Structure 1
């Protein structure tokens, strides 16, 4: 295996270490995954490890999508579909 030395600014290094820790990996593993994808010409795989969501990010994204769906669809309720209050108390209206 060959070693590669890369110089980055302090902030990039700090953020990369934080992200690697969130993904339970190392900065070297993130760079290695990026370079493997780049060498294969696989654009989808390039940096896939670096772009992986943490569990908390995934939950946040899914919650946001669910809220957007509810908001866009009016909560699944339509005024036209509502039964008038008086009709709810009529037995025939429920069958």
Structure 2
């Protein structure tokens, strides 16, 4: 485990210590939990973004460029894809 030194202004440190005491924890544990949550969120966002990219790369009909215009949707001839 690595040790990290951070600088906080006196008021923030005092308020963080009070909050930590109220939650029966330490400032270190609060900072660790915050960083774990932020990195978990980023990892999850990147995983979902990759999943979306993979889906769009493999599925047809999801490309906005392939969307029909309003006129094409309501034309009498229609589109052969929907017959």
Query: So what's the TM-score if we normalise by structure 2?
Result: 0.48
Greater relative contact order (CA < 8 Å, ≥ 6 in sequence): 1
